Amino acid sequence: MTQWKKSIYTGHVSDGVAEVADGRYPLVENRVQAEIMCHVRAMNRPVSRSEITEVLGVSRSKISLEVGRLIGAGLLAGDGLAKSEGGRRSSLLRIPRSAGLIAAVDLGATSTDVALSTLGGELLIHRGEPGDVKDGPQRVLGRVKELLSELLAEQGADARDVVAIGVGVPGPVEHASGVLRSPPIMPGWDGFPIRAAFADGYEAPVFVDNDVNVMALGEHRDGVGKGEDNVLFVKIGTGIGGGIIADGHLQRGSQGCAGDIGHICADPEGPVCSCGNRGCLEAMAAAPAIAAKAERCAKEGLSPILQGVFEERGVLTARDVGEAASRGDYHALQIIKESGRLVGQVLATLVSTLNPSIIVVGGGVANIGHSLLAEIRGAVYRRSLPLATRNLPIVPSELDQIAGVTGASVLAAEGVLQTS
Ligand SMILES: [Zn+2]
């Protein structure tokens, strides 16, 4: 906790604006200011004062007072006048780039993505590279900080311009503390204070959540889930996870574990999972399971294509299975279909529980071939109530590689604009 306090935000954007309250670091002074900023961010375009007054249902004089304060603090700026609607033309407002930058980090099991965006929500620059979370927090976060420094320099900015940092990690995060708890695929990260790791170099507050939750936030803000209030996002990669947006808000549950569908039991007699249980969805349908099944096929001589790749490289990946399937390999196609069927079975249960309006499928395995999505759709439609699936699109992610950093910047911006 003492280490954590080091990252207390000191309010360099405008003195007096950022107060430290109950361990939070809002840029804004009160709820009305927070709502104004969140509305302008959500609209992603210049917004008139009269629109803000109408949407927030607060008096014109109160809006005028708080907008004036936000402009004084550099968080809002004028952007000309709105079109005339008969009366006096209302002035337009936007969040200027000088209001600050958001640093977004998306750690996958085997990838590191970092990005900078404006507080207003514009993605400025993104960089991704292979990485391995098994290298441990010191090495991985050290590399993240190097990449962030490079991106800031390329934008002509420095660490003092960063007003918030959002981090997505591939493991269960205790929401209140932002700390990973017993992450199955992240040795060395259990209880590691990620927030404190940014304290040398950054004064900005750090917000941490699991990678699937941040991807769900990204799809909801800028992807195929935009404008939908009830989104179920599913990531299929090295692991499998779900992110739930209900009534427009990310659902974390009481400890932050909501949507952790990878460890729902798909077969009590199935293989042992990294969590120690048997037959988890993740152990049976994620990338390592797909690769393991393909290797068995290759060794048994069932698939000449997989056998050829295996003999050449000594290892097979889920991507190899996708390529073999696209070349007409029967066994590769069956492996993909089995994953789709298992994921779809679990999603059908969630559809009955949550009644989403759209299911978005992302992660590295999502691009393995059309048959995966087709099997998921088939299983969900077969096993759910017809009413729940009547208007339920099940679609691939649009943001793909940038879903995580887009969502991490949403997480950070919403966090820093929140009043306690
Ligand atoms: Zn498990």
Q: What is the pLDDT of residue 418?
A: 85
In a domain? residue 25: yes
Same-domain check for residues 263 and 173: no
Same domain, 198 and 329: no
**3-class SS of residue 341:** helix
Q: Residue 362 is inside which H or E element, if any?
A: strand 358-362
| Lookup: tokens for 298 | 């290759």
CA–CA distance, 326 with 66 (Å, rounded to integer): 58
In a domain, 22, yes or no: yes
Q: Distance, CA 279 to ligand 1 centroid (Å)?
A: 7
- What average pLDDT is seen over the chain? 89
Structural contact between residues 361 and 236, judged by C-beta atoms closer than 8 angstroms: yes
280 C-alpha to center of ligand 1: Å? 5
**pLDDT per residue as tens digits for the range 341-386:** 999 999 999 999 999 999 999 998 998 888 999 999 999 999 988 8
Residues 122 and 233 grouped into a single domain: no
Same domain, 79 and 207: no
Q: Which two tokens stand for residue 359?
A: 């299911």
Is the per-residue pLDDT at 337 higher than 80?
A: yes
In angstroms, what CA-CA distances link 379 with 26, 61, 222, 347, 367?
A: 44, 55, 28, 8, 18
Residues 278 and 210 in one domain: no
Are 233 and 362 within 8 A, CB to CB? Answer: yes
Burial class (CB in 10 A: 0-12, 13-18, 19+), 349: middle
Find the 293 Cα to ligand 1 centroid distance in Å: 18
Q: If you measure from the C-alpha of residue 259 to the centroid of ligand 1, how many angstroms do you get, rounded to a whole number? A: 13
Please state the domain count of the chain. 3
What CATH number is associated with residue 22? 1.10.10.10
Q: Same domain for 46 and 142?
A: no
> Which residues are within 5 Å of ligand 1 (an ion), measured at CB?
263, 273, 275, 277, 280
Collect all residues with Cβ–Cβ distance below 8 Å to 384 and sequence separation of at least 6: 348, 351, 352, 392
Among 172, 42, 197, 18, CA closest to 105: 197
Is residue 41, in this structure, part of any structural domain at all? yes
Give the pLDDT confidence score for residue 18 in this predicted structure: 31
386-416, pLDDT tens digit by residue?
A: 888 888 999 999 898 899 999 999 999 999 9
CA of 278 to the centre of ligand 1 (A): 7
Instruction: Check whether residue 307 and residue 264 sit in a common domain.
Output: yes
Residues 313 and 355 placed together within one structural domain of the fold = yes
In the chain, how long is the greatest CA-to-CA distance? 79
Residue 261 Cα, ligand 1 centroid: separation in angstroms? 9
Q: Is residue 279 within 8 Å of 266, Cβ to Cβ?
A: yes
How far apart, in Å, are the Cα atoms of 38 and each of 27, 151, 161, 374? 12, 26, 20, 37
3 falls within a domain = no
Asked if 235 and 160 sit in the same domain, the reply is no
Ligand 1 centre and the CA of 170: distance in Å?
14
Q: Which of 242, 275, 277 is nearest to 261 (CA)?
A: 242
Are residues 409 and 117 in contact, defined by beta-carbon separation less than 8 angstroms?
Answer: yes
Neighbours of 5 (CB within 10 A): 12
Give distance in angstroms: CA of 370 to centre of ligand 1. 26
Residue 19, pLDDT above cutoff 80: no
H or E stretch covering 180:
strand 179-180
The answer to whether residues 268 and 123 belong to one domain is no
At a CB cut-off of 8 Å and minimum separation 6, what does 176 contact?
256
**Domain range holding 93?**
9-98
CATH of the domain at 193: 3.30.420.40
pLDDT of residue 25: 62
For residues 172 and 248, membership in a common domain is answered with: no
What predicted TM-score, i.e. pTM, was given to this entire model?
0.87
Interatomic CA distance for residues 266 and 280, integer angstroms: 6
Please name the residues in contact with 195: beta carbons below 8 A apart, sequence gap of 6 or more. Answer: 4, 7, 178, 205, 206, 208
Whether 105 is in a domain gets the answer: yes
Residue 4 pLDDT exceeds 80? no
Give the C-alpha separation, 129 to 114, whole Å.
Answer: 9
Structure token digits, residue 296 = 């068995």
| Token code pair at residue 378 | 């088939």
* CA dist., res. 243 & res. 257, Å (int): 10
How many angstroms separate the alpha carbon of residue 331 from the centre of ligand 1? 26
Tokens of 254: 């009481």
pLDDT of residue 11: 32
Does residue 1 lie within any of the structural domains? no
> What is the per-residue pLDDT across 158-205, written as a single tens digit (0 to 9) for each?
999 999 999 999 888 888 888 998 887 888 999 999 999 999 899 999
- Do both 166 and 74 map to the same domain? no
* pLDDT reported for residue 420: 63
Distance 132 CA to ligand 1 centre (A): 20
